[in-house]
Structure 1
Amino acid sequence: MGHATDALDAGGSSDGAGRAIGPPGARVFAAQVLRGQAQVTFLPSVAAGAVFCVALFAAGWQYGLYGLVGTAVGTATARLLGADGERVASGLEGFNACLTALCFAVFLGAGHLSTALLALAGCVVVTVVTSAVANLLGVWGLPTLTLPYCLIASTATIAAPGFQRVWHHGAGLAALTSPASGPTALQPADLAEAFFTAFAEIFFMPQWYVGALLLLGILVASRRAAAVACLGSAVGTATAWALGAPAAQITDGTTGYNSVLVALALCGVFLPARAATLTYALVGAAAATAVGSAMSALFAPSGGHTFTWPFVLTTLVFLAGAKSFPRLTGSPEAD
């Protein structure tokens, strides 16, 4: 989801338009895939991607496999279609496919052949959707974020119950929906669990230790990004508690993962890392928590699955607004 890039893969070559010439070697392609997984949190880092891969396999070998293969399919599709070489090399053509594959695995059941086939098709389609969204939002200078994946995921989960060969009741983690009401009191152990599961839920996983591994992956790539992500998780949790969200909904991470992504996006990725943008990012993180509740109510007829819509909508609004504030963008007018 980030726009920062590593240097182009060693051994690769490109033409004058930045498109790679010839098929990459296995090691180069593997690096592109791992960067694709890391780009879910804006990091073009092979090391972070490797830790993320371990985290998903720790959640369940099926999820690790879906995430890895999905990213590979999205990356390979982009290459075959002649996508920009720098985007492919930095993983920007893989992260939406990673999330799309995991979405199918979680909500349709990882053990079904129909799920695997749909996931493969979805990873191909989301690559095309990514290009379309990039062309549309590029007019306003805005990034695609996870909007392509959200479009595919929402369409799939809304349509799936109408197809008997696709919809498997109680499949995967689909039954893990947050309660709309319940006790709001939080214990210290609940706060710790909420902090880590906010990271895990970015990839649909409910285990706190998966979140801890994901945070470790971010830390390996960037201490600044890890600090911002931690603040985003804390703000999301605090905002949800202050608004009276049920404790179970807070501890399962569903009120915090969008806040983590918003904080990362608005401080150091699309806006420069400075005190003003950090404050702006944390306000955005808090807003995403409220947006998440609204989106959950909006999608309630189809199961209430908000995916990363709150992150996408909040970030796009805050980025569009930042264009009018030179102190946030670092424009000369700020001096």
Structure 2
Amino acid sequence: MKKSNHNSLTREGFPLLMLASFRGISQVMLIENAVTGFIILVAITVSSYLLGVITLLSAIIGTLVGKLGGETTKEGVNSGLFGYNSVLTGIGLTLYLHGSYQWVISLIGAAVAAIFTATMMHFMKKSEIPILTFPFIGLTWFTLLASYKLKAFKLSSGLVPQDLSHWKLNIAGDINWTEGIFNGIGQIFFLDNILSGILLFVAVFWAGWKFGLYAIVGNAAALVTAYALGGEHTLLYMGLYGYNAILTIFAVSIVFNSEQNRFAPLSGIIAACLTVPITASVSTILMPYGLPALTMPFVLCTWIFLGARKVLPSL
């Protein structure tokens, strides 16, 4: 079995590599679908040609690491499980770093993310709790923090440590709800572009009507919750409260609902709402370090609900 997997991509050649890479892109949204992955790639490229190239290269690199490393199950490589953390890491480091080594660091980060993914798979295998995007989060945070001690890593000017003692909450201004809807799904890939958001909705509906419906519901739940709790209007229409909610409702209500629990839709909505205060708190904790929250709220909320299901199966 292991030998067959090691040679599988070689025998099938470039088409299989690309299909696995596209699935790696789609796995960012917990979806295993090559067409969905391709549409997502188009959505990213529409927003930025640079990010489109980085996304594709990162997905290929992650897939190759899984293949060349002799991953023990053929399904792991071909389903894209070694690509999605690489994709997010490549995009994140490209956006948050600058300088002549930006591309090199981003693509090396994509390769390391695949290795980190394998490590996390091993350690969390017995718990039956998915690793989700934690390898991407940990690797990105550590890389950004390294910039304070290593000259080769140059932080983007947008990442500035802030003093909490002088922080003021700004809830002035109107909310553009249309932008909030499409930016919510776009921010999963760091995108702030309405057309890209529309294409991403097309991508999830292609994977199945449930994904499309839950994407709308999860984003709406986050927007309403954030508004009711007095969240900053700028963050609402930029989609920074929506993307974690969408990923969380996908995980809790669809992907990891193996028992087809009748309460899973409600659990997913509650989990999506919970991402709002967790996003606010994680962002606040990281402000003195100038670090972004990334998808940590999604990981925390999903782990909380999936872990609780081991004891409280009705969740």
Same-fold call, TM cutoff 0.5: yes
Q: Is the 8 A contact 1:74 1:127 kept in 2?
A: yes
Q: Is the 8 A contact 1:108 1:174 kept in 2?
A: no
Aligned-pair identity in percent equals: 24
Residue 94 (structure 2) pairs with residue 105 (structure 1): yes
Aligned partner of 2:150 in structure 1 is 163
Report how far residue 95 of structure 1 moved: 0.3
- For residues 100 and 253 of structure 1, do their structure 2 counterparts lie closer, same or farther at Cα, with a shift above 3 Å needed? same
Report how far residue 159 of structure 1 moved: 1.8
Which of the residues 235, 244, 254 maps onto 2:240? 254
Residue 260 (structure 2) pairs with residue 277 (structure 1): no
Looking at structure 2, the residues matched to 174 and 215 of structure 1 have their Cα atoms a distance apart, in angstroms, of 29
Report how far residue 324 of structure 1 moved: 2.0
Within 5 A, what are the aligned runs for 1:119-198?
119-170=106-157, 181-184=169-172, 186-187=174-175, 190-198=176-184
Q: Is the 8 A contact 1:180 1:246 kept in 2?
A: no
| 4+ aligned runs moved over 6 Å, structure 1 | none
Q: Is the 8 A contact 1:37 1:52 kept in 2?
A: yes
Aligned partner of 1:19 in structure 2 is 5
**Any idea what SS the aligned residue of 2:120 has?**
helix
TM value normalised by structure 2: 0.91
Q: Is the 8 A contact 2:21 2:63 kept in 1?
A: yes
Looking at structure 1, the residues matched to 4 and 297 of structure 2 have their Cα atoms a distance apart, in angstroms, of 33
Deviations 1:165-199 (A, max 9, x none): 321543xx768x9x962235644xx1111111011
- For residues 169 and 46 of structure 1, do their structure 2 counterparts lie closer, same or farther at Cα, with a shift above 3 Å needed? closer
Looking at structure 2, the residues matched to 180 and 97 of structure 1 have their Cα atoms a distance apart, in angstroms, of 35
Aligned partner of 2:56 in structure 1 is 68
Which of the residues 192, 198, 203 maps onto 2:189? 203
Letter in 2 for 1:106: L
Letter in 2 for 1:49: G
Q: Is the 8 A contact 2:172 2:233 kept in 1?
A: yes
Looking at structure 1, the residues matched to 291 and 309 of structure 2 have their Cα atoms a distance apart, in angstroms, of 30
Report how far residue 19 of structure 1 moved: 2.5
Report how far residue 200 of structure 1 moved: 0.8
Report how far residue 306 of structure 1 moved: 0.6
Q: Is the 8 A contact 1:184 1:245 kept in 2?
A: no
Which of the residues 213, 223, 231 maps onto 1:237? 223
Looking at structure 2, the residues matched to 149 and 180 of structure 1 have their Cα atoms a distance apart, in angstroms, of 30
Q: Is the 8 A contact 2:146 2:153 kept in 1?
A: no
Deviations 1:207-234 (A, max 9, x none): 2221221111011111111101111101
Within 5 A, what are the aligned runs for 1:83-94?
83=71, 84-94=73-83
Looking at structure 1, the residues matched to 222 and 255 of structure 2 have their Cα atoms a distance apart, in angstroms, of 19
Aligned partner of 1:332 in structure 2 is none
Which of the residues 193, 206, 222 maps onto 1:220? 206
Aligned partner of 1:11 in structure 2 is none
Residue 289 (structure 2) pairs with residue 302 (structure 1): yes
Q: How many residues align?
A: 306
Q: Is the 8 A contact 1:104 1:119 kept in 2?
A: yes
Looking at structure 1, the residues matched to 313 and 195 of structure 2 have their Cα atoms a distance apart, in angstroms, of 40
Report how far residue 274 of structure 1 moved: 5.3
- For residues 169 and 316 of structure 1, do their structure 2 counterparts lie closer, same or farther at Cα, with a shift above 3 Å needed? closer
Looking at structure 2, the residues matched to 158 and 234 of structure 1 have their Cα atoms a distance apart, in angstroms, of 33
Q: Is the 8 A contact 2:249 2:268 kept in 1?
A: yes
- Where do 5+ consecutive residues of structure 1 fail to align? 1-14, 329-335
Which of the residues 278, 300, 307 maps onto 1:320? 307
Looking at structure 2, the residues matched to 184 and 276 of structure 1 have their Cα atoms a distance apart, in angstroms, of 37
Report how far residue 17 of structure 1 moved: 7.8
Looking at structure 2, the residues matched to 152 and 48 of structure 1 have their Cα atoms a distance apart, in angstroms, of 26
RMSD: 2.0
Q: Is the 8 A contact 2:226 2:236 kept in 1?
A: yes
- For residues 17 and 327 of structure 1, do their structure 2 counterparts lie closer, same or farther at Cα, with a shift above 3 Å needed? farther
Letter in 1 for 2:273: A
Residue 65 (structure 2) pairs with residue 77 (structure 1): yes
